[in-house]
A = this chain, B = another copy of it.
């Protein structure tokens, strides 16, 4: 997050950011609509700039990359591009535990407010649901699963199973507050739930949508 313009935020900007605030908001609104409609992969800075009525070079100047623009548009609770590389460098044997630990670091930390706002909006708004799904798939799961060198269909199947457990931890711990999970320490949850995520990532699983599971 070296570029403050790319930082997810909850309110109107208070620090110095490049460019006209109205132009920034127009770009972010166009980005939200385009990412929701086309998905992360199908959207481009060029299309978003056109929709916002600005030059693509200006969007690059304001936000940097398509990833950073996406994170700003959805007000993401954290930047996986910053947080994940260290985790992924640790090898695959403890990947499940590391993913759970990182999730809890973000949600037990300053990312919780933005995360809750995103989940609340996604549950009540179909377009935000698409944006949250794109965030999970393109920014988190694809990076995590990408380290495993799997065929695409298998990677997506394993990623969607991982998503089901991670979203469930967020809902059970931070939204519904089911005890004792809600009050457990991060270490306890990593020990209990890490093996599930590890199994989904690298274990012997009958994968949905994959004809021949890798065993």
For A162-184 the 0/1 string (1 means CB < 8 A from B) is 01111111011101111111111
Q: Tell me the interface secondary structure of chain A in the complex.
A: helix
For A97-121 the 0/1 string (1 means CB < 8 A from B) is 0000000000000000000000110
Decide if B175 touches A160 in the complex (CB within 8 Å): no
Closest chain-B Cβ to A168's Cβ sits at a distance in Å of: 2
Decide if B171 touches A167 in the complex (CB within 8 Å): yes
User: Who on chain B is nearest to A191 by CB?
Assistant: B206
Distance of A185 Cα from B208 Cα, bound (Å): 8
- Number of identical monomers bound together in the oligomeric complex: 2
User: Who on chain B is nearest to A161 by CB?
Assistant: B192
Distance of A166 Cα from B168 Cα, bound (Å): 7
Q: A199 at the A/B interface (Cβ < 8 Å)?
A: yes
Selected from B199, B205, B209, the residue in CB contact (under 8 A) with A180 is B209
Decide if B193 touches A161 in the complex (CB within 8 Å): yes
Selected from B153, B164, B171, the residue in CB contact (under 8 A) with A181 is B164
Selected from B163, B168, B209, the residue in CB contact (under 8 A) with A167 is B168
* A153, A156, A168, A176, most chain B CB atoms within 10 A: A176
Decide if B133 touches A160 in the complex (CB within 8 Å): no
* Set of chain B residues within 8 Å of A184, measured between Cβ atoms: 208-209
- A181-B160, A184-B209, A208-B181 given as contacts; is B171 within 8 A of A171 (CB)? yes
Contacts from A to B (Cβ < 8 Å): 119-120, 122-124, 129, 132-133, 136-137, 153, 156-157, 159-161, 163-169, 171-173, 175-185, 188-189, 191-193, 195-196, 199-200, 205-210
A-B contact pairs, 28 of them (CB 8 A): A122-B175, A123-B175, A153-B180, A156-B179, A156-B180, A157-B180, A160-B178, A160-B182, A161-B181, A161-B192, A161-B193, A163-B172, A163-B176, A163-B181, A164-B168, A164-B169, A164-B171, A164-B193, A165-B196, A167-B172, A168-B168, A168-B169, A180-B210, A183-B209, A184-B209, A188-B209, A195-B199, A196-B199
